[in-house]
Structure 1
Amino acid sequence: MAVGLKKTVVLFGGSGFLGRYVARALAHRGHRIRVACRRPDLAYHLQIAGNMGQILPIQANLRYRWTIDRAVENADHVVNLVGILAENGRQSFDAVQNFGARAVAEAARGVGADLVQMSAIGADANAKSAYARSKAAGEAAVFETIPEASVFRPSIVFGAEDAFFNRFANMARFSPFLPLIGGGTTRYQPIFVGDVAEAVADAVDGKVATGQIYELGGPEVLTFREMMEEMLRVIDRKRRFVTIPYGTASTLARLSRFLPGAPLTEDQVALLKTDNVVSDAAKAEGRTLEAFGCAPRTLEAILPSYLIRFRPQGQFTKPQPQAGGLDAENRDGVA
């Protein structure tokens, strides 16, 4: 733990999955952190990541500008991690990821603070997905307000509390098959949450050029199916894969949209049609994780540390070797 406190950093969305890692990384570097979120009680557990009084949860809501202005008073740096994967009531893509991003940027500019904005690979003003369009609109709003801001676009982020591998590993405990939307051919570049957090902390410390869009991906490019195969290998279970065409998936999502906790939305189906990997332009211009001097960690190195609980006997399961590739039970079924 660093001894001296350096900057006052306001962390919007700090109570979420990525936020807790960013808060920890900033605390270890000696910064004072305000965790701005709608429910401060959900961020109290972060206080033990720093010294006494170093991490302070504070109430803020991106839909109410005065709460944002209050949160950033006397701040040196602002980090906006707020984002949603599905709309819910007033929590719409535009409200959170477009207008919310602009409000945070304007508040940061008002106090002369630097800004890091979290976006996502695939952000595109012309995308078919409303999620991707709102992310692009948020980026544009940020740069229009603070040209020297830093924008991060990670691929799918994994770690102990993720909602991706944990969800499918839990599904594999009960279901005899796992779904592959569109055949599971969409490519991803999964990145460990701790690596993203360290990159954000480096940006706060001024170790990389500002006014850039950084695309963050891990060391491997894998299809959706390959990620599921790796997950099954780690939890030592054999499951069949069932291919669900995009059209069928969209119809199922549309029919289930009024159900509580719907597993998939039409917008997410649209996202699954586009690869989610670092672009060639970002590689050529040095706008990747390598710019931070970080050696990204692999799925093989991290997944066993938290998916072991999904093995048949948990940590006491002795994994069986799988010679000759996939077992017959892991072959495709037909939807």
Structure 2
Amino acid sequence: MSIPRTRAAAANLGSVPPRLRDGLAVFALDGNRVRIGLADPVVLEGLSSEEAAFVARLEEASACTSADVARYEHVIRRLDLHGLLAHRGTSSPPGTASSGEGTGTGTGTWHATVCVVGADDLAMAIGLCLAQAGVRRIEFEDAKPAAAATPVTMVAGVTRAHRAARAINGWVPHAAHVAGAGSSCRSPDVTVIVASGSPDLALVSDLMAADQPHLPVITDERGVTVGPFVIPGAGPCLTCLGISRTEADADWPLVALQCNGSRPTHASAAVRALTAGVACDSVVRFLDGGGSDARQWRAESRTNGDGPRLTERVVRTHPSCRCSNPLVRGDDLEDQQAILF
């Protein structure tokens, strides 16, 4: 027998202190009425002054005690019926930047590992956004030496991955790590590939063969393309995109081989920020139970000096690609490069 949502929530209140959803603010009205929210407000009436004060305290979970939970369980049920409470896995933990603090605890809402291949400024922006959103562990994979810009990066042997992890941990302690330092990016929940023009083809083949979900973030001189979110066998893959692009540009295979994940990325600060949010949202949707996502986003700087522009389109599985064929063995995926090269 299933437990009603409100009863299930109440049963867990001892271990998970109730808290309002991120961004919800409480406003006192006359007659002990309380308004919760700005854009789509809910007004609670008939509260006592103590109950109204309790609702206001729910903006911060740390201010709610076990005695409060027992005393105001009826108020908590009422808030839950309106969908106003944050629940495990659907909201960032207190103390992260998404709850308005600017730093985080690194405890993580999603007990998941996301590997970010690349550790330049764009990859760091994506990693920071994921950490602040509540992803428990971010691993950077980038063995290129860090630029000698600070005393930290001038230490011999410091890679861009080390620099990125150190920077992220300054904001969200213990969230970021270097792949291979005690663990590796061999079996993450999601891999985010940050590259210019085209990713490392061998890496993409390995991810497909291992059935590893991955998200491409590809830059060029005009902007950044994010997606699609690839779940092998469940939607379009990067080879599908490569075939389609080759049909439109016969020279593309030669260009892709000369990129192959080795060229530096380029994106303005505004485009980096926009891209980080889009990439983070795509990953978090998957971690929250989502499937493959055939959407592809394009962030570009405007030539007239205005802010960046974001567009969206849906890509399709290419009929010449065998990525959706369940009879194709993982090792055979490497042979698909023959379609392009």
> Would you tell me which structure has more helix in proportion to its own residues?
1
Task: Output the TM-score relative to the length of structure 2.
Answer: 0.37
Determine which structure has more spread, i.e. the larger CA radius of gyration.
2
Larger RCO of the pair (alpha carbons < 8 Å, separation 6+)? 1
